[in-house]
Amino acid sequence: MSFEERFGIKALTMVSVVLGVFMVILDTSVVNVAIPKMMSVFATDQTTIEWVITGYTLTVGMLTPASGYLADRFGMKRIYILALSIFVLGSALSGAAWSSSSIITFRIVQAVGGALLLPVSMTILFSLSKPEKRGLMMGIWGIASMFAPAFGPTLSGYIVQNLNFRLIFYINVPVGIFNILIARTAIPKFEARDAGKFDWPGMVTSLIGFFCLLYGFSDVPTSGWHSAEIISLFLAAGIFLSLFVVLELTTDNPMVELRLLKIRPFLVANIAAGILRIAMMGTLFLLPVFLQNGLGLTPLQTGLLTMPGALLTAVLLPISGAMFDKVGARPLAILGLSIMTVASFFLVNLNYNWSFMSIMMIYMFRQSGMGLSNMPLSTAGMNAVPRRYYNKASALQNTLRNVAGSFGTAILSTVMQNHENYSLISYLQNTSAQSLQGVNTYGMQPSVFAAKAPSVLLRFMLVLKGIAFQNGIREALTVATMFTAVALLSAFFVGKKQVPVA
């Protein structure tokens, strides 16, 4: 029996779809490590160059809602190949950029392709797979989405340290062209259907609303929740997104079909997956910060520490998908989220005395829970949606997760910074220079903070700052654990195994 006869999809089709997802998600993390190098090459400041990341993230988040309509209107194969082409063009231009403004512009071009690739690739795989094999296929699709964020810093760290940082963009060009050739031959033609007039009011209100919301979340760590800028952004986001919801619920042909949230299994699965996303993205942000700023690891070492967890997740995703096809989402979600919650409780005790191996093992344990729970929740939600709504359901699902991930990073980074400041002020009020010896043994490696401080007093201050930093990380990890526990509770409301809707 051939692969296509067994699973309902060609092997090359699956390779093309997974490779496209891997390329897009990899580029959300691969650039972070190269930021200092780009600051030097383009002679600019960090505030400006960070728009290389922010512009990409915002564009993906803003344009994802429109992907469902475009896929219906022009056909999924056409949109997928168009998105790949735009992404490859943006990558080539980013590699050739000559200034900070040019690379920011070209990254936005790249993100236009990325915004369309993610939801359309999911829908292609979901539509072609046999209903009884969808869990396995979605698990394979999820390998890229879970492995790429951990592999990105490792790859980027090696390239920046040993080669030319422009290769992190140029590497997409041959891979992308190869993938376009595969897609043209392996992905079957999906007929375009009458999608009606494009919902321009919905598009405009969603663009403005999601820009304000996602940019607000990205700027919270810098400006703070109470700044006038953040309050104004969130106020504007609330107004435009409220208007967007009203428009989408009252128009006959909405860009985003919010009425799908009336389908209970789809709603519950997305709530559980969204809360899980908050905990996942927040921890993906916190752990590298601690490893590099606290333990002094290089980006390459950080990537090597998180790599085994990503590999374990990649192995478990298709396994959990195959199990989903037999038992449904609820038992896998409960098991996976239970593992994540237990591992998160262990991770709350993270401190400077933990070894490289102990952190890696607990992170692997936590990621095993992610591998068991993530894709079953996604597949359960999509299975509850009628086939004619697959494109819009995928667009809605990806939009919700973009927002949840941005919120998770913003809230946990804020908790970390606020508790770090609180701890430092508290220590300064309640300790004296004579207690330096006691501070040095308080869960600290003196080589990490203040190793070369020129005076005892400065060393004392920096060691206190190091302890406060550790406390801030642990407080944020505690909040992440609470989100994980809430996701576990919500998993109990995920329905039992059901027959996919026709």
pLDDT of residue 436: 47
Count how many Cα atoms sit within 13 Å of the Cα of residue 420 in the half-sphere of its side chain.
Answer: 21
The pTM (predicted TM-score) of the whole model is 0.81
Tokens linked to 436: 């330096």
User: CB-side exposure of 376: number of CA atoms within 13 Å?
Assistant: 31
> Which tops the pLDDT comparison, 455 or 349?
349
Eight-state DSSP code of residue 447 = T
Highest mean pLDDT among 11-20, 90-99, 126-135: 90-99
Check pLDDT > 60 for residue 445. Answer: no
SS (H, E, C) 381-431: HHHCCCHHHHHHHHHHHHHHHHHHHHHHHHHHHHHHHHHHHHHHHHHHHHC
Q: Which pLDDT score is estimated for 455?
A: 57
Q: Can you point out the beta strands (E) in 197-284? A: none
Residue type present at position 336: G
Q: Which domains does the chain have, with CATH numbers?
A: 1-188 (1.20.1250.20), 261-495 (1.20.1250.20)
Q: Which two tokens stand for residue 256?
A: 């985003």
pLDDT at 444: 46
Measured CA to CA, the distance from residue 255 to residue 257 in angstroms comes to 6
More confident site: 453 or 289? 289
pLDDT in tens, 352-395: 889 889 999 999 999 899 888 888 888 888 888 888 888 888 88
> What does the angle CA 310 – CA 175 – CA 59 come to, to the nearest 5 degrees?
70
Task: Give residue 236's pLDDT band: very low, low, confident or very high (50, 70, 90).
Answer: very high
Most confident of 154-158, 235-239, 319-323: 235-239
pLDDT at 500: 58
- pLDDT reading at 341 higher than 90: yes
pLDDT at position 378, please? 83
- The yes-or-no verdict on residue 442 having pLDDT over 50 is no
Can you list the alpha helix ranges (DSSP code H) found in 129-227?
Answer: 134-162, 167-170, 172-186, 200-223
283 Cβ contact list (under 8 Å, min separation 6):
344, 347, 366, 412, 477, 480
DSSP state of 501: P
Instruction: Determine the average pLDDT of the residues in 84-101.
Output: 93
Asked if 260 and 461 touch (Cβ cutoff 8 Å), the reply is no
For the record, the structure tokens of 274 come out as: 């969204």
Q: Say whether pLDDT at 441 is over 50.
A: no
pLDDT number for residue 497:
63
- Is the per-residue pLDDT at 440 higher than 50? no
156 vs 237, higher pLDDT: 237
Alpha helices, DSSP H, located in 31-133: 35-41, 46-49, 51-63, 67-74, 76-95, 100-128
Top-confidence residue, 151 or 121: 121
Which conformational region is residue 75 in: left (phi greater than 0), alpha (psi within -120 to 50 degrees), or beta?
Answer: left
Cα angle 106-94-25, degrees, rounded to a multiple of 5: 85
Residue-averaged pLDDT of the chain: 83
Query: Which pair of structure tokens corresponds to residue 374?
Result: 């993530």
